[in-house]
Amino acid sequence: MINISWLMQFLEVTDRKSINKAAEELYISQSVLSRNIKKLEEYMGYPLLVRSNQGIRLTKEGRLLYQCSMPLKEEIKTIELLRKKKEVMGCSELHIYLFSLLLKSELLLDYVSGDNGDSIILKIYETKLMDLLQGVQDDEFGVGIAVLSDPEVAALENKVSQSSLTMEVLDQGGLYLQVRESCTDFDRQERLPEDRLKDMRYIHLDLDIYSILRLGIKINGVPLTSLKQVIQVNSYSAMMGLLAETNSFSFGSKWQADEMKRHGIKCIEIPDAETKMNLVLFLNSQAVSLEARAFVNILKRAYHLLP
């Protein structure tokens, strides 16, 4: 019978395109890894890898073995997750990474209510976009949800394609202006006049190399980069408190309008916005936990995205 450990090491070498990098990832020596790959080749009866100064590449037979073995790799990871779940005394665990989104409160209640009675470890991280991507990639219990503009989605596609992440646009909607309920500066078309806009503070979350693209958005022809009064915060809780109590505005989406309303903030769609907003789901294609799968189904149901 084939040695599963050798096979998994072969897959790691193939993914890393380097015995050196694979050995570091697997915490074994290069000599042991090379010896195990050689044993696997002897077992199969033909070479699997071609080694050169530029790294390694698969032979025709090696490519076929790699393709046939990938489903097994996913099944083994699922088995490992089940084992680790047992080790934490029956606890189910879910880590949610959020960027630019305030989750519906009933969504979390539905997830907790749907649990089978085990203890639950639920962690929610409000992060920068880059931290969200890294978190989901490194965290076997992680799932990422972000609201991104069209330029942000386009800029991320190449990065995501070169990683173990998957990016799925679940829904698309307009760009919304978020202001306190008592704001009376709107005209009859529910637009903020340019002079009023420039007197208000613009509040936004922490930005990074990708999310900074949203600063290119214009509102009523006014570029955000021209605004002088800007407040940067690191959480939606802080943003809501400032919006509800100060002469300020921020951008939002339809997916959090109900939650914002509960906190005394109204959301008005900008009819001529230059960009659309996207509700985006990020998962690690190499390790999607059972809890993450359950949460995604609840998420889609909460936002009416199921067929």
83 — pLDDT class (breaks 50, 70, 90): low
Going by C-alpha positions, the residue among 217, 235, 237 that lies closest to residue 277 is 217
Going by C-alpha positions, the residue among 281, 252, 241, 70 that lies closest to residue 156 is 281
Is residue 17's pLDDT more than 80?
yes
Q: Say which CATH topology domain 4-87 has.
A: Arc Repressor Mutant, subunit A (1.10.10)
Average pLDDT over residues 268-284: 88
The CATH class of the 90-307 domain is alpha beta
173 — pLDDT class (breaks 50, 70, 90): very high
Q: What confidence score (pLDDT) does residue 28 get?
A: 81
What does pLDDT average to over the chain? 83
Query: For a pLDDT cut of 90, what percent of the chain falls above it?
Result: 16
Torsion of CA 78, 80, 83, 84, to 10 degrees: -110
Q: What is the pLDDT of residues 40-65, one digit of tens each?
A: 899 889 899 988 877 788 998 888 88
Q: What is the pLDDT of residues 182-218, one digit of tens each?
A: 876 665 556 666 667 777 888 888 877 767 777 777 7
Q: What confidence score (pLDDT) does residue 133 get?
A: 93
Is residue 77's pLDDT more than 60?
yes
| 151 touches 212 (CB < 8 A) | no
| 94 touches 292 (CB < 8 A) | yes
* Alpha helices (H) along 115-149: 129-138
Average pLDDT over residues 54-80: 81
Where along the chain do the CATH 1.10.10.10 domains lie?
4-87
Q: What confidence score (pLDDT) does residue 167 get?
A: 93
Q: The whole model's pTM is what?
A: 0.67
Q: Pick the most confident of 66-70, 96-100, 114-118.
A: 96-100
What stretch of H or E contains 297? helix 290-302
Where along the chain do the CATH 3.40.190.290 domains lie?
90-307
Burial code (b: 16+ CB inside 10 Å, e: under 16) for 20-31 equals eebbeebeeeee
Pairing of strands 142-149, 277-284: antiparallel
Q: Packing angle between helix 290-302 and helix 60-87, nearest 10 degrees?
A: 80
Residue scoring higher pLDDT (181 or 224): 181
DSSP string, 178-215: EEETT-----TTS---HHHHHHSEEEEE---TTGGGGG
Q: What confidence score (pLDDT) does residue 193 get?
A: 63
Q: What is the pLDDT of residues 104-131, one digit of tens each?
A: 888 888 888 865 556 788 899 998 888 9
- Give the Cα separation of 245 and 114 in Å (integer): 36
Q: What is the pLDDT of residues 227-262, one digit of tens each?
A: 778 888 888 888 888 888 888 888 889 998 888 888
